[in-house]
């Protein structure tokens, strides 16, 4: 009888130990932050936004803005950027870091209050994004929910401003062209994205991310001290005071991150 009790006690202890060991082996929940198997991944990608995907928050409130060339109806995409990204990445961690550099092109048109004079801006910039990245899901899952929260430093390095006069119908006459970079200035934006990450396969950790993002500028892309933006200046902005271009931009993007070997969980 005593031997039977000892046998069953030992068997129960073995079963409990096996269950605990198995539970540890199949616990695929990542930690909030871990450097286990951490690495930098190189990615390339593209972002874009439609002309109508803006939420008005500019000053003054009666400023008339559109995000395309007013003389052309075909400008559907008002913003596009392409660049490289570096992802500080660990399959065992929810929290990561992503940063990079992008080359962007954007359109902006401001009309005077009478809708006769138009300033069409064509702007090229370098963007330097930095994000905290939250990667939600099991360690070995093929798909993960991805949330990015951070900021983007925007530095315009080239741009053109065309002063146009609208005549009868949809005809526009170009009165002058200004290529001075002094009419622009650098600014910071708050940025957030949400999307999904898809692994390519079992042989490596290459992955594609697809997301929707929202940017809100904290500064003004236009240099309000520029001579033509004053009340006596030669522009469509001369009848506005305290100009500030700060509108939410909603966009979409794709990133492909290269992987060369399968990670260890």
Torsion of CA 192, 195, 200, 205, to 10 degrees: 40
Closest CA to 47 of 82, 93, 92, 4: 82
Return the structure tokens found at 201: 């396969």
Separation in Å, CA 14 to CA 9, 10, 11? 9, 6, 5
| 49 dihedral zone (left: phi>0; alpha: psi -120 to 50; beta) | beta
Residue 142 DSSP class: S
Rg (alpha carbons) of the chain, rounded to whole number:
27
Give the count of beta carbons closer than 10 Å to the beta carbon of residue 239: 11
In sign, the C-alpha dihedral spanning 176, 181, 187, 192 is positive
Question: Would you write out the chain's pLDDT as a tens digit for each of its 265 residues?
Answer: 444 444 445 434 444 544 444 444 444 567 776 767 778 889 999 999 998 888 887 888 888 888 988 888 776 889 999 999 999 877 778 899 999 999 999 999 999 888 889 999 999 999 999 999 998 888 778 889 999 999 999 999 999 999 999 887 778 899 999 999 999 999 999 999 999 999 876 666 788 999 999 999 999 999 989 989 887 788 888 878 888 888 899 999 999 999 765 544 4
């Amino acid at each position: 009888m005593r031997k039977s009790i000892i046998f069953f006690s030992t068997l129960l202890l073995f079963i409990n130990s096996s269950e605990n060991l198995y539970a540890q082996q199949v616990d695929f929940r990542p930690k909030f932050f871990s450097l286990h198997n951490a690495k930098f991944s190189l990615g390339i990608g593209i972002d874009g936004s439609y002309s109508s995907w803006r939420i008005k928050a500019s000053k003054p409130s009666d400023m008339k803005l559109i995000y395309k060339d007013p003389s052309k109806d075909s400008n559907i995409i008002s913003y596009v950027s392409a660049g490289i990204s570096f992802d500080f990445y660990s399959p065992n961690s929810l929290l990561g870091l992503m940063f990079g550099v992008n080359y962007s092109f954007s359109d902006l048109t401001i009309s005077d209050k009478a809708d006769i004079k138009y300033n069409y801006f064509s702007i090229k910039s370098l963007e330097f994004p930095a994000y905290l990245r939250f990667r939600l899901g099991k360690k070995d899952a093929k798909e993960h929910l991805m949330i990015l929260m951070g900021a983007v430093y925007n530095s315009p390095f080239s741009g053109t401003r065309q002063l146009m006069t609208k005549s009868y119908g949809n005809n526009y006459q170009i009165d002058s062209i200004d290529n001075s970079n002094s009419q622009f200035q650098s600014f910071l934006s708050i940025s957030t994205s949400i999307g999904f990450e898809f692994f390519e396969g079992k042989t490596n950790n290459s992955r594609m991310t697809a997301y929707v993002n929202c940017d809100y500028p904290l500064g003004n892309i236009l240099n309000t001290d520029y001579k033509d933006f004053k009340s006596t200046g030669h522009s469509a902005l001369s009848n506005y005071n305290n100009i500030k271009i700060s509108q939410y931009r909603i966009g979409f993007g794709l990133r492909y991150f290269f992987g060369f070997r399968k990670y260890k969980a």
